[in-house]
Amino acid sequence: MNLSTIDIIIFIAYGCLIIFIGLWVSREKKGHTKDSSDYFLAGKSLPWWAIGASLIASNISAEQFIGMSGSGFALGLGIATYEWMAALTLLIVAKYFLPIFLKKGIFTLPQLLEQRYDGRIRTILAVFWVFLYTFVNLSTVLYLSSLALTVVLGITMWQSIIGLAVMAVAYSIYGGLKAVAWTDVVQVVFLIFGGLVTTYLALDAVSEGAGALKGLSLLFEKAPEKFDMILSKNNPFYKDLPGISVLVGGMWIANLSYWGCNQYIIQRALAAKSIGEAQKGLAFAGYLKLLIPMVVVIPGIAAFVLGADINRYDAAYPWLLANLVPTGIKGLAFAALIAAALSSLSSMMNSTATIFTMDLYKPSLKKDVSESHLVMVGRIVGVSAMVIAVIVAQPLLGGEEQVFQFIQKYTGYVSPGIVVLFLFGLFWKRASATAAIWTAIASVPFSVVVDLTFPSMPFIDQMGVVFLMLSLLMVVISLTGDKAISPKAINLEKDLFTTSPWFNAFAMGIVMILAVLYIIFW
């Protein structure tokens, strides 16, 4: 199915707008040369609303539009727990993690681990993240977004993948994080508004023209099993979302790893004007996360009720675009999907370049290099990561039914180890560098052993078990070594975690909304 002329004009106009904004904000004043702080941290100038918008634009990618809609089609609203629990996690990260990160004045999270442990752990985690962002994150966003492009535009998968990669590089490679963040402000408006338009049309189709509210009511009536947040053991998708464990178990490990220990998320907060702006930005992002299931999960349930003729779950959202969205609106809805993809691609590319340049390349040099040289290296690495992702995207992910669940499981092999490293490093003064090394090394083997030993155990529960095992390993090795407090322990001052009344009010609002949502959909 092809877009109409007006849809193509809207889509092309959107692409030109993003490229123009990216290049415009990347301009430098006469006589000023872009340095590493400008390129990797946007000159530490981002206000709270730009931080929150950029966080969501970077997070809401094809994984959500395509992957979570597919999971909504398959298992229902339960998959929204990733979004709603993330809102609460953002508050925890804002209050307890960010003050330490910003106090340390870091560029990257591996840099923090070196300050707390030693250079070995910085190198290990830097290499890991470069590979993860390139072979998992970038390739996944390229692949899932291209599923929609092939359906809507009628082009091949390779043409779709290459086209997305070229667009993402075009507007972000020159300006770095500054270009990424400020274009994200525009893109988050498109992706939420355009996504809500698709949701409205899907619900209106369910009600046969009687409106979205009637359509939502009919979803409850025709597919009540799709609105259980806490799945029972007899649910066929219980292994993906194991009952109460999504609230008190391994889901916390996945969320803390993603929102608190993930470079391409935290990098926006590191670029804030101040700690107050950073914290308000994360609270703003929390409110947007509460809204996201209306954009990405409800359409999947609507496609199920409408009897979408698809051969794989992840085709649910492209099916809606192809069959329900009318001419003129289709370009806008399609632009929303592409906005989500481009913002995530540019963010991951920039963070990959930041980690490689600041954690692997710069420390390996025996002499100081100019700031302009570091920026050049960052640009080369960003483009190289994108080229690799283009090559591996389709061969790596082409056979997966629910790509979102695939991502969660296999990143879950390393998430427990990362969370242990940060939690103990930030908040336990006895944690040693040796214990950190062994914890990092043991994360994947422990996860594999637990997976093989308990194959029927849901992967979220497996993450919880591995987290406890790695925590024990960290404590035992730390206590059997030097009994003294680590000389690199972080000093937690009395007022370090004090937050403003505005942040406290925003946080209370999120907690109350979450309580109501879980009471309704329990």
Asked if 102 contacts 272 with a C-beta cutoff of 8 angstroms, the reply is: yes
Q: pTM of the full predicted structure? A: 0.89
CB within 8 Å of 470: residues ≥ 6 apart:
416, 417, 420, 439, 442, 443, 446
Query: Does any domain span residue 439?
Result: yes
Q: Which three-class secondary structure state does DSSP give residue 431?
A: coil
Asked if 267 contacts 177 with a C-beta cutoff of 8 angstroms, the reply is: yes
CA–CA distance, 278 with 401 (Å, rounded to integer): 37
Q: Within a 13 Å sphere around the CA of 354, how many CA atoms are in the beta-carbon half?
A: 32
| 437 and 357 in a common domain | no
**Mind listing the pLDDT tens digit for each residue in 237-283?**
888 788 888 888 888 998 999 899 988 889 889 989 899 999 999 99
| 159 and 72 in a common domain | yes
Local structure of residue 326 (DSSP, 8 states): P
| 450 and 307 in a common domain | no
| 164 and 217 in a common domain | yes
| 448 and 329 in a common domain | no
Among residues 428, 426, 472, the alpha carbon closest in space to that of 446 is found at 472
Give residue 95's domain range.
5-402+499-520
Token pair listed for 422: 């940060």
Those residues of the chain that have pLDDT short of 70 are: 1-3, 28-33, 62-63, 148, 151-152, 366, 396-410, 482-483
Query: Does any domain span residue 229?
Result: yes
Q: Give the pLDDT confidence score for residue 332 in this predicted structure.
A: 75
Q: Give the pLDDT confidence score for residue 99 in this predicted structure.
A: 94
Among residues 107, 126, 94, 106, the alpha carbon closest in space to that of 176 is found at 107
| 244 and 168 in a common domain | yes
CA–CA distance, 58 with 261 (Å, rounded to integer): 15
Among residues 188, 205, 204, the alpha carbon closest in space to that of 335 is found at 188
The total domain count for the chain is: 2
| 505 and 487 in a common domain | no
| 385 and 417 in a common domain | no
Q: Give the pLDDT confidence score for residue 121 in this predicted structure.
A: 92
Mapped to the 3 state alphabet, what secondary structure does 509-522 carry?
HHHHHHHHHHHHCC
272 phi/psi in degrees, rounded to 5: -75, 155
CB within 8 Å of 324: residues ≥ 6 apart:
198, 201, 202, 205
CA–CA distance, 90 with 208 (Å, rounded to integer): 39
Rg (CA), the chain: 22
| 424 and 319 in a common domain | no
Asked if 288 contacts 52 with a C-beta cutoff of 8 angstroms, the reply is: yes
- In Å, what is the CA distance from 103 to each residue of 98, 100, 112? 8, 5, 11
Q: Which three-class secondary structure state does DSSP give residue 3?
A: coil
Query: Does any domain span residue 188?
Result: yes
Biggest CA-to-CA distance, the chain: 71
| 307 and 425 in a common domain | no
| 482 and 505 in a common domain | no
CATH number for the domain spanning 228: value is 1.20.1730.10
| 467 and 516 in a common domain | no
Q: What is the DSSP string of 451-478?
A: HHHSTTS-HHHHHHHHHHHHHHHHHHHH
Q: Give the pLDDT confidence score for residue 336 in this predicted structure.
A: 74
Query: Does any domain span residue 224?
Result: yes
Query: Does any domain span residue 407?
Result: no
- In Å, what is the CA distance from 479 to each residue of 60, 204, 432, 471, 485? 42, 62, 9, 12, 10
Query: Does any domain span residue 263?
Result: yes
Residue whose tokens read 């300006």: 175
CA–CA distance, 102 with 92 (Å, rounded to integer): 15
Q: Which three-class secondary structure state does DSSP give residue 26?
A: coil
Q: Give the pLDDT confidence score for residue 48 in this predicted structure.
A: 92
